[in-house]
Amino acid sequence: MKKRVIPNDVIIVMVVMVVIATVAVVRMRQKPKGDVNPYKYDIEQYKKVDMALIGYCEVAEIKIDAELYGLAVDDDQIYVTGDKLLLLFDKNGAETKRIELDGAAKCVTVDADKKIYLGMADHVEVYSADGNCIDRWKTINKKSIITSIAVSESSLFVADAGTRQVYRFDKDGSLRSSFGEKDEQAGVPGFVIPSPYFDLLIDRTDQSLWVVNPGHRQIENYDEDGRFKKAWGASSIKLLGFSGCCNPSHLAMMPDGSFVTSEKGLVRVKVYNHDGEFVNVVVPPNSFDEHTVGVDLAVDSTGRIFVLDSSRSVVRVFEKK
């Protein structure tokens, strides 16, 4: 029987493959020196921001002896929710009222009649300006995690991270509609909510609704019936975009219709114009403590920006330079 001879070029290829495989295995088994993690993404270079890009300066802070969750501002008052607390401050930061709650309110908003709406875990509660509870609405869903509420002239909108829906209520608590499902035919992306950060607001210019879609790193515009209109935003660790898996975490609007955004992970506060174009930075990442999360935002009629810094238990106030 004649022996089969393997060509030399085939032998060479086989030897090279064995050598490559051996080197790969050795490298995989080698531990990195010291505590260096070769797979960790370095964000330190993005924590420092050129001073020329920072358009605001910090002018005041309100220290609060509570764990902080939600923030809202109108012309006369600053509203802060804490652990089973609703706190009211005047425009200079002096506490004017402290209201005890049955649970934690993660978000707050105020209408033109000074009615205060609180987003509890799975329902909405309504308080009068003098601090009395005047209504408790029904539970939305057992899975509900209410993260944001916004009020228009006739409706209250609730962002629910648990059900990934936006709900529209009449002001008496009657549920009118909800939306949030993906609809490819209509060009609706659907809300992607990887973590309990899901914000919305009423547009000061046309009363439409802006909703953060954090999993898509964009901000989407809807009419009051939940019909998708447009969106802006991009995924990027650089200043122009939003970083991480799911950002921005919070949203506010300036008197001229510009947007103020905050992010978690790489924590920073920025301003974009009404078309979604980057304008400047309010607070750079290196101005926050390392483990800061949940930076809620509010803006008053003069354009002052209020930043709820939960890690320091303060509300920080910024004015344009």
- Over the stretch 105-137, which tens digit does the pLDDT of each residue have? 999 999 999 999 999 999 999 999 999 999 999
**Count of CA atoms in the C-beta half-sphere (13 A) of 19:** 6
Rounded to whole angstroms, how far apart are CA atoms 254 and 273? 9
Mean pLDDT throughout 221-225? 95
Q: In this structure, is residue 8 part of a structural domain?
A: no
Residue range 36-51: mean pLDDT, rounded: 70
Average pLDDT of 160-189? 93
Model confidence at 186: pLDDT above 90:
no
27 occurs within a structural domain: no
Residue 17 has what pLDDT? Answer: 54
Is 114 domain-assigned?
yes
User: Region 210-217: what's the mean pLDDT?
Assistant: 97
CA distance 237 to 246: 12
pLDDT given for residue 6 in this prediction: 52
Read off the pLDDT band of 42 (50, 70, 90): low
pLDDT in tens, 224-278: 999 999 999 999 999 999 999 999 999 999 999 999 999 999 999 999 999 999 9
- For residue 14, tell me if it sits in a domain: no
User: With 80 as the cut, is the pLDDT of residue 24 above it?
Assistant: no
Name every residue whose Cβ is closer than 8 Å to that of residue 189 and which is 6 or more positions away in sequence. Answer: 182, 213, 216, 218, 220, 228, 231
CATH number at residue 292: 2.120.10.30
Burial environment of residue 261 by CB neighbours within 10 A (0 to 12, 13 to 18, 19 or more): buried
Percent with pLDDT over 70 in the chain: 87
pLDDT of residue 21: 52
pLDDT at 2 over 50: no
Does residue 38 lie within any of the structural domains?
Answer: no
- pLDDT confidence band for 41 (50 / 70 / 90): low
pLDDT in tens, 55-114: 999 999 999 999 999 999 998 899 999 889 999 999 999 999 999 999 999 999 999 999
How many domains does the chain contain in total?
1
Report residue 182's pLDDT band, with 50, 70 and 90 as the boundaries: confident
Q: How far apart are CA 271 and CA 273, in angstroms?
A: 7
Per DSSP, which regions of 241-320 are E strands? 250-253, 259-262, 269-272, 278-283, 296-299, 305-309, 314-320
Question: Could you tell me the residue range of the domain that residue 282 belongs to?
Answer: 45-320
- Looking at residue 8, what is its pLDDT? 52
pLDDT digits (tens, 9 = 90+) for 8-19: 554 444 544 554
Considering the domain boundaries, does residue 209 fall inside one?
A: yes
In a domain, residue 117? The reply is yes
Mean pLDDT in residue range 301-317: 97
Provide the token pair at 306: 């209020």
**Which residues have a Cβ under 8 Å from the Cβ of 205 and sit 6 or more positions away?**
257, 274
Task: Name the strand (E) or helix (H) holding 184.
Answer: none
The pLDDT mean for the chain works out to 89
Q: Is residue 186 part of a domain?
A: yes
